[in-house]
Each structure stands twice: as structure tokens, then as C-alpha cells.
Amino acid sequence: MRVLVIGANGKVGRQVVALLGPTHHEVLAMVRDPAQASALEATGARAVVADLEEDVTDVVSETDAVVFTAGSGGSTGGDKTLLVDLWGAIKTIRAAEAAGVKRYLMVSAIHAADPDQGRPAIRHYMVAKALADERLEQSTLDYAILRPGRLNDGPGTGLIRAGEDIGYGEISRADVARTIVATLECENTIRRTFCILAGETPIGEALARL
């Protein structure tokens, strides 16, 4: 399967690309700066340079599956939240539908289920995530929407909690990356939206129990 990772130079994205590298998947790592390409290509991926604020139709149409783990980040303004987290995501969903790309994995956020529960300072970001998720749920795609809690850079344990209503907490980016890769292989996650937190259950088992 050829997998496009959007946000490939991000903290989660780089780990997804590294994990997918040794698998049978062919990995297209989407970056916006050509200088970011060589580190990703060292893991066996092919880098493609594209920007979510521009036309990404061609990049999406080259793939069998999309992993969206891009984000405008906390140091930009609400305009970028709208253009990247919301509109950028919707453009890739539309492009996947138009090109017949069936599998689409979205890295969302736990409070996208109910943005009013999120911290006021990032509520607009949760609204953007919620609306992108809603568009994906209304699509024809074989989507999976992963909603992690607060991300940290701790080591991966391979153990998570997964489900629709699992409270709030943290999860390492390493375990989010492993869960993304496992989700790609897990048919039980097709057309499912679920939260993930650090937990006690091996990732494959947690996904199988959804």
C-alpha cells in the first residue's frame, strides 16, 4: 500500500514515517520545505513537497491511503488554524474522495468530540478539528479518526486505552505513531472515531476491542 503522510516532518509524523519505512508500505512523506526531505528519505520514504495552504489534489491522488497528522501548531494564529487544521484537512478529504483513495486516517484531538469542554485558549482549534472530523465522517471514505489526549514526548510503551468515552489524559507521540500504523492494518477501525490515551492494553488488542 502506498501511504501519504501529511505532516511528515512533525513530531508524530516523523515517527510514523520511520515506523512505516521497514514495512511493506511505500511511504510518501509530505513536507513543505525541501530541506526537510533528506532526513525522511533516509528511512526509505519518498518526500513530496506540498503545502496545505495550496492545491494538494495531485499529491493525494497518487496514494492508496492518507495519514493526516499536520497541524498549524500553538505558535501561529487562528487564521492558520482555519487554513491548515480545518480547510487543509477538508481539501485532502475532498481530494481523496475525488481520486478514489479509500483509506484515510485523521489525527484529531480528544476534545473535538465536544469543543466546549476544551480549554478556552484552544477552543477554536478544537472547533476546527471537530468540523474536519464531521466532514470526514460524512465522506465516502474508509476513515479512522484517532482522538489523542494531550501529547507528550515520553517513550512509547505500546500500551493504550482506546474507546469513545475514556476520560481525559495524556499519551506519548511515540504511542500515537504506533497506533496510527496499527490502525492502517486493522479493519475493525474502518469508519470509526475513537479516543486514545496511555493505558494498559497492547495497541492491537485495544483496536480489536473497539
User: Residue 32 interacts with ligand NAP (CB under 6 A)?
Assistant: yes
User: Residue 63 interacts with ligand NAP (CB under 6 A)?
Assistant: no
Q: Which stretch binds ligand NAP (CB under 6 A): 45-53, 158-166, 189-197, 201-209?
A: 45-53
| Identity of the residue, 166 or 208, whose beta carbon is nearer to ligand NAP in the bound complex | 166
Label residues 131-165 b or e (16+ Cβ within 10 Å = b). Answer: bbbeebeebebbbbbbbbbebeeeebbeebbbeee
User: Residue 11 interacts with ligand NAP (CB under 6 A)?
Assistant: yes
Give catalytic status of residue 125 as yes or no.
yes
Which of these, 189, 179, 165, lies nearest to 117 by C-alpha position? 165
| Identity of the residue, 101 or 187, whose beta carbon is nearer to ligand NAP in the bound complex | 101
| Identity of the residue, 91 or 103, whose beta carbon is nearer to ligand NAP in the bound complex | 91
Q: How far is the CB of 112 from ligand NAP (least distance, A)?
A: 9
**Which of 115, 148, 156, 199 is in the footprint of ligand NAP by CB under 6 A?**
148
Q: Which stretch binds ligand NAP (CB under 6 A): 7-15, 91-99, 136-144, 194-202?
A: 7-15
Name the residue whose CB lies closest to ligand NAP: 10
User: Which residues contact ligand NAP by CB under 6 A?
Assistant: 7, 9-13, 32-33, 51-53, 69-73, 84, 88, 107, 109, 148, 150-151, 173
Catalytic positions are 125
